[in-house]
Structure 1
Amino acid sequence: MKPCAKSLAAMMLMVLLAGCESETGKDVNGKAASSSDVSYFFGARIIPGDGSPAMEDMSFIVINGKFTAIEKRRELNAPKGSARIELTGRTVTPVFANLQAQPGMNNGAQYGPKNYNRDSLTADLSRYAYYGVMAVLTAGTDSGDLAFSVRDELRQGKIKGARLFTAGQGIAAKGGGPQPLADITIQVGGAADAKKTIAELADEKVDAIKLWMDDGNGKGPKLKADAYTAAIEEAHKHNLKVVSEVFDLNDAKELVKAGVNGLVSSIRDREVDDALIAAMKEKNVFLAPALTAAEAKFVYADRPNWLGEQTMREVYPPQLLGYLADPVSVNKFKRLSELGDLRQQYATA
C-alpha cells in the first residue's frame, strides 16, 4: 500500500452523497448488497486530506469496518466472497471534525441556552453528519446531564448523528465570557477556583476543558494568568486537553506558554507573527480557526446567495433560513455599529 494510502486508511472516511452503497443499494451484479464483514469498493475518487492530489479510479477494501487496502482499481482485486460496491462518480474523503461547535443553541431568531434540549441537540448533530462533520466538540455550552447521555447513546449506537465530545460548561473570568452564555459559563477568580472547577468537570467525565479568555470578541474581563495556568495544569493531571477561545495575539502567546493544547478561534486584533507560530509548533498546539463563526457575525448583511442553495435548504432549519433572509433581519445586520470592525477582524483572521 502506498504511503498516502496508509495514512488514509487510518482515517475514518465518508462517501459524499451516497453513504457506502450504490444508489440502488445493490452490488455490481444487481444483487442486494451483502452484509458481509468484507467489502470491496471500486471506481472512487479519493481525496486523502493531507494536501496531496486527489486519486482517481481507486479501489479499497474494508474488513470489519476498517480500511485494509487502498490501491488503483486495476491493482487491487476483490477478496473472494466480499460485497462489491461501485463508487464511480463518487468522492471519498476523510470526515470533518468541528472543535468549536455549539449544537442545540439556535432556533432561528434566537440563540441561547433556553433553546437547548434533546430535540435541538440531536437535530443539530444529525445536520453535522449530513454535511460530513462526523465529530464535534461542544466547546463549553453544555449544562446538565443531557450532552453526556446523548454522547453515550451515540457511542452505543442507539441514536445516529455526529459523534459528540463535550467540554461541559466552559470557564471564564468573573463577569467575563460571552454574554448570551452567562448562565452556562463557570466563572473563576483565581487559581483555587480554577483547580476546583477542573476537578469537578473531570468528575463529570468531560472529554476536554474549554476556556474563554474574554467574551470571544476581545472585550470584557479576561481570565487572569494564575487562573488559566492553574486550570491547564490541573486538567493535564486528569489527562484532559484544554482548548481556548482567544482574540488578542498577546493572550494567545501567554496561553501557549502556559501549556494550552489548542486554540479554537482565530487571532483577530492583529496579524499572527512568527513568534506565535514557532511556539505553537514547538509545543504542538493546534488551531481550529472558527472562520465561519467570525464571518457569521456580519455576512448576513450581504444576503449571501448560498442561503438559497439546495444543500442548505435540505437540512438547514427552515425557521433559521427564513429569519436570515428576512429583510428586517438583513437591515438589522446592516445597522450594526461594529459592522466595519467585524469585517476587518474576519479579514485579519
Structure 2
Amino acid sequence: MSVATFRRAVAALALLLPATAVADDAVPGPGPVQALRCGKLFDSRGGRMLGPHTVLVRDGRIESVSSGRAEVAGAAEIDLGAHVCLPGWTDLHVHLGSESSPQSYSEGFRLDPVDFAFRAVGYAEKTLMAGFTSVRDLGGEVAPHLRDAINQGLVKGPRIFAAGKSIATTGGHADPTNGYNSMLSHLMGPPGPTEGVINSVEDARQAVRQRYKDGSDVIKITATGGVLSYARSGDAPQFMTDEIRAIVETANDYGYRVAAHAHGTEGMKRAVEGGVTSIEHGTHMSDEVMRLMKQHGTWYVPTIYAGRFVADKAKEDGYFPEIVRPKAATIGAQIQGTFARAYKAGVPIAFGTDMGVGPHGDNAREFLYMVEAGMPAAEALQAATVRAAEVLGVDDQGVIEAGRRADIIALAADPLEDIEAVLDVRFVMKDGEVFRAPAAR
C-alpha cells in the first residue's frame, strides 16, 4: 500500500471522528504555557514517588519541574492535584496493524491493505488513551504510514518507532507465504529480501537496506519460530549467526537497532552473539543465555501479556488453527515464569506486550503480570519509561525533567501502593498536547 493511499484513507476517517471522541471531558487548550499541578509525581530515574509538584510546559517541552505549587504568571493551569503524574509510557512491542481473532488467518486473503489501515487508526488512539505516548511497532507494513499520519496530525496516536516488514528466513516466522497452497505459492513466487525473506549474508544486507528505503526506524528479525505463524515449530533457530551479524552490522550503518523475536535457546544465543539490541519473548531462555545477555548488554522484552493471552485462547475450539494451537498452549504459558527467572538473574528488562495479539488499549495489564511475577511496581514503571528510552536509544523521553518531551500521564491513584491503578488513566499529554483530561471537579 502506498503512502498516498494510506494518507487518503486516514484523512477520510479523521473527518468522521468527533474531535473529542475518547476524552472524559472538555480538553484544555494548549496555550502558550501550561502549568500541571500534580498531587504526586513519579521520579522514573530514582524509582520513587514524590509529593506535589508543578510541571511547566512550553512548546511541547518541559520547561521546569518544581516541588509544591510554584506560581507561574500567565500559564494555563491543569489541575491534577488529586492525581499521580508519571512520564508517558512506552510499549516496546506492538503490532498496530492487526488484532487477534478467530478470523485473523483468513482476513489476509479477504481484506485490502486499506481495511487494515482503517483499523489501525482506532488501535492507535486506544493505545494513546491508555497512557502509552510511544510504541515500537515490531512488524507490519501499515506502521510507517500510520506513524507519518500521526506526526502530521491527521489522526490521534502514540509516537511510533516502526520496523515495517520483519525480516525472516524461508518458511520462518515472518515469511508472508506460510500456509499458502501450492497454486498461490507458484503464482506469487518465493519471497526475497524485498519482502523481508533472506537466505544468505548478501540477502541479509539487502533486506536491511530495503527497510531503510521503506522508511523503517528499527529492524525486527524472527530469530526462531513463532507461536502464531502457520508452521509447526515455535522455537527452532531460523538464522545462522553470520546472517544475524550481517543484519546488525548493516543496521548499524543506518543508525538502526535490531530487535529479535526468539523463543528457543539456540536462536537466542545466535541473536545475542550476533549483536541484537533486544530479545523479545525469550520463552525458553536458559541460564547460559541470561549470562550472555548480561555480558553483551542485551535487553529482554518479555511480553507476558501475549503469552497468557494465547495460552488462554488455545483452550477455545476454533480460535487458532490446529497447527498453531499446541504451540500457543505450551509456549505462551511459560513466558511469565521465564520473566521471573530473568529478573532474579539480573537480566536488563524493558516493557513490551506484543499487543495486537491481545486487544489494543489493554497494554497496561502487563504491569500487573510483571509485579505478580516478582518485580517491584517501581521497577515495572521504570521498564516502561526510562528503561524503554534506553532501548530506543533516545534521551528526550521517559522522564519528567526540564528539556524533555512533555509526555505526561496521570492516574487516579498511586500505582506503588496498588499496581492496578495503572488501569485507570485520567490524563494524557503527548508533546504538550492534551488528549485526555479528567472531568472537572
TM-score (structure 2 length as normaliser): 0.58
Matched with 2:338 is 348
CA contact (8 A) 1:269 1:345 kept: no
Letter in 2 for 1:343: A
Matched with 1:231 is 247
Structure 1, unaligned runs of 5 or more = 1-20, 26-32, 303-326
Summarize deviations over 1:7-42 as a string: whole Å, max 9, x none: xxxxxxxxxxxxxx99665xxxxxxx5653112222
Residue 220 (structure 2) pairs with residue 210 (structure 1): yes
Summarize deviations over 1:171-218 as a string: whole Å, max 9, x none: 112211157774896221110111111112211221111100122254
Q: How does 1:100-249 map to 2 (within 5 A)?
A: 100-106=93-99, 108-112=101-105, 114=108, 117-142=116-141, 146-178=142-174, 182=178, 186-217=196-227, 218-220=234-236, 222-249=238-265
Residue 31 (structure 2) pairs with residue 36 (structure 1): yes
Matched with 2:311 is 298
2:319 and 2:306 mapped to 1: Cα distance?
17
Seen in structure 2, the aligned counterparts of structure 1 residues 91 and 204 have a Cα distance that, compared at 3 Å, is same
Seen in structure 2, the aligned counterparts of structure 1 residues 240 and 344 have a Cα distance that, compared at 3 Å, is closer
Q: Secondary structure at the match of 2:82?
A: coil
Q: Secondary structure at the match of 2:281?
A: coil
Summarize deviations over 1:156-180 as a string: whole Å, max 9, x none: 2222112222211111122111577
Matched with 1:62 is 57
1:270 and 1:198 mapped to 2: Cα distance?
29
Matched with 2:433 is none
Q: How does 1:53-92 map to 2 (within 5 A)?
A: 53-73=48-68, 76-92=69-85
CA contact (8 A) 1:179 1:215 kept: no
CA shift, 1:269, in A, is 4.7
Letter in 1 for 2:209: A
1:23 and 1:47 mapped to 2: Cα distance?
25
CA shift, 1:330, in A, is 8.5
Seen in structure 2, the aligned counterparts of structure 1 residues 236 and 152 have a Cα distance that, compared at 3 Å, is same
* Greater gyration radius: 1
Matched with 1:47 is 42
- Report the more deviating stretch, 160-169 or 101-110: 101-110
Seen in structure 2, the aligned counterparts of structure 1 residues 45 and 272 have a Cα distance that, compared at 3 Å, is farther
Structure 2, unaligned runs of 5 or more = 1-22, 181-190, 228-233, 340-441
Seen in structure 2, the aligned counterparts of structure 1 residues 274 and 101 have a Cα distance that, compared at 3 Å, is closer
Equivalences, count: 290
2:90 and 2:210 mapped to 1: Cα distance?
26
2:325 and 2:30 mapped to 1: Cα distance?
55
Letter in 2 for 1:157: G
1:171 and 1:332 mapped to 2: Cα distance?
24
Kindly indicate whether structure 1 or structure 2 has the higher relative contact order, using CA contacts under 8 Å at least 6 residues apart: 2
1:201 and 1:34 mapped to 2: Cα distance?
38
2:320 and 2:248 mapped to 1: Cα distance?
42
CA contact (8 A) 1:266 1:291 kept: no
Summarize deviations over 1:133-173 as a string: whole Å, max 9, x none: 1222221222xxx4333221211222211222221111112
CA shift, 1:60, in A, is 1.6
CA RMSD of aligned residues (A): 3.3
Q: Which runs of 4+ in 1 moved over 4 A?
A: 21-25, 178-181, 271-274, 327-333, 335-338
Q: How does 1:304-343 map to 2 (within 5 A)?
A: 337=326, 339-340=329-330, 342-343=332-333
1:228 and 1:332 mapped to 2: Cα distance?
30
Seen in structure 2, the aligned counterparts of structure 1 residues 262 and 121 have a Cα distance that, compared at 3 Å, is same
Q: Secondary structure at the match of 1:192?
A: helix
Q: Secondary structure at the match of 1:177?
A: coil
CA contact (8 A) 1:41 1:60 kept: yes
